[in-house]
Amino acid sequence: MKIQEEYKNKLVSAEEAVKVIKSGDLIDWSSFNGQPVVLDQALAARKDELTNVHIRASSSLRPVACVEADQKREHFIYHTWHMSAYERKLHDRNLCNFIPVAFHERSSYYENGYVAPDVAMLQVCPMNEYGYFNYGPQANAIDAITRYSKIVMVEENPLMPVALGGRFEMIHISDVDHVVKNPGTPLIEVKPAVASETDKAIANHIIKEIHDGCCIQLGIGGLPNTIGEMIAKARIKHLGVHTEMLADSYVDMYEAGCLDGTRKVTDVGKIAYTFALGTQRLYDFIHENPVCSISPGSYINNPNVIARNPNMISINNCLEVDLFGQVSSESSNGRHISGTGGQWDFAKAAYMSKGGKSIIALSSTYQKKDGTVASRIVPTLGPGTIVTLPRWSVQFICTEYGMVNLKGASTWERAERLISIAHPDFRDQLIKEADRLHIWLPSNKVS
C-alpha cells in the first residue's frame, strides 16, 4: 500500500480513535510537549462510559482533561514517572500517583514485561514523505512505549519541531493504528529562571571545575543557566554535551563557540540529549538541526554510555542533604516534589568518567511559608523524605559557601565538611546534632 493511501486510511477524528479504549485499559502517553491534547479531550468526554482506565504520563506541562473531568478517580486513574509542577498539585489532592524509576531503566520495564500498555498516545510532527512521524523534542521512553503497546495513536501537531536523532526518534505509519490531527497547539515554553545572588555564588565555585574539553550535563533552574552564561563569557572551548535535558543555556554556549563535541567519545560533534524544555528560541534551534542528536533515555542516561566521555561534569540540584551525605532531590517530609529522574544516572556516570566530577548544588538555606529561614543541610532527613542519592554515591556538594568532596570521607569527616559549607547561622546547631548522632569529634572546630 502506498504511504499516502495508508495514511488516509488511518486518519480519523479524535472521537473515533478513542472509541477503541475499554474499561480497565492501561494508556501510556508521551511527556512534556508530547502530551496528547485532542486525544485527551476526546477521552475525557467518554468519562461516564468508562471505569478504571489507568493513564501513565510523565511531566505533564498542561492540565490533563481526563483528570480534571474525574475528581473522584472512578473513571481515570492517573500516574506519573516524574512530577511537573502541575502533577505535584494533583498529587497534593490525591489525584496522581508517582512511579519510582531511574530514568535509564524505564524502557527496560516495557521490554521485560513489567508494564504492558494497551494504548499509546502521543503528539508528533506531521508525517514526512517517507512515512515517518518524528517524536519531537522528547524521546525519553517513547520508542519502548510504542513498540510494546497494542494500539498506537499519534496526534499530528504542525508546530512540533523535528528533532533529528541518533536512534529511535520516529515511528513509521505502518506501526501506527490511528492518526489524529492537532490544530496547532503551541508548545509550552519554560522561560530561563532568573539567577539569584546565591546561584551566582554557587556558580562561581563550580565554573572553576570546567575546563576546555569537558563534557557537560546541566540540570534545570537558575543555577545551570548562570553556569551556561559563565561558560559562554569565559569562552571555554571544545566542550561536549551529553545531557538528559537540553535548555536555552546550551544555545548560548553553542552560539559563543564553546560547544563542538570534538573531544567526546560518544556522538562526536553532536549535542546529545533525550528531551528539550525551554523557550521557542530553543525549539527553533532544534528544528531539523543536524548538530542536535536526540535519543531515548535508555541510551542518553545509561551510566556506561555517559562514562565513556572523559572529563564528564554533571551538575544537578537537590532539596536537602543530611550530615551523613544522603541527598534528597524529590521529596520533603512526605510531600512529593519531582522524581529521581536522571540524577543517579549522571552522578554515578560522572564519577566513573576519567577526570569526571559529579556536583550536587544547593543553596545553604530556604525560606519557609511562615517567613522563617531553615537550613538545607540538616542533621537527618525528615520522616517521609526520599533518599535520591545514597551517601556512598555522592561526590561533590556545593553551596554558596564552598564545595566539598565526600568520597572516601568517614562519617565525622562528612559532617565536618558539610557543616563548613552550611550557612554560618546554623553551624553551631549542626555541630551539636552531629555530636548527638555520634558522628562528631568534640575537638573539631569548623571555621
Pairing mode, strands 335-336 and 331-332: antiparallel
Contact between residue 144 and residue 117 where contact means Cβ atoms under 8 Å apart = no
Encode burial over 72-103: b for 16+ CB neighbours within 10 A, e otherwise: eeebbbbbbbbbbebbbebbeeebbbbeebbb
| Unique residue bearing C-alpha cell 551539636 | 432
Contact between residue 382 and residue 333 where contact means Cβ atoms under 8 Å apart = yes
Q: Which of 155, 156, 244, 320 is catalytic?
A: 244
The grid coordinates of residue 391 equal: 551517601
Phi, psi of 69 (to 5 degrees): -85, -10
| Burial status of residue 190 (CB atoms within 10 A of its CB: 0-12, 13-18, 19 or more) | middle
Q: What is the C-alpha separation between 404 and 107, in angstroms, rounded?
A: 35
The amino acid at residue 20 is V
Contact between residue 251 and residue 126 where contact means Cβ atoms under 8 Å apart = no
**244 belongs to the catalytic site:** yes
Residue-by-residue DSSP string for 61-102: -S--HHHHT-TT-SSEEEEESS--HHHHHHHHTT--EE----
- Strands of 271-276's sheet, edge to edge? 292-294, 271-276, 240-246, 215-218, 312-317, 357-361, 396-399, 402-405
Residues recognised as catalytic = 244
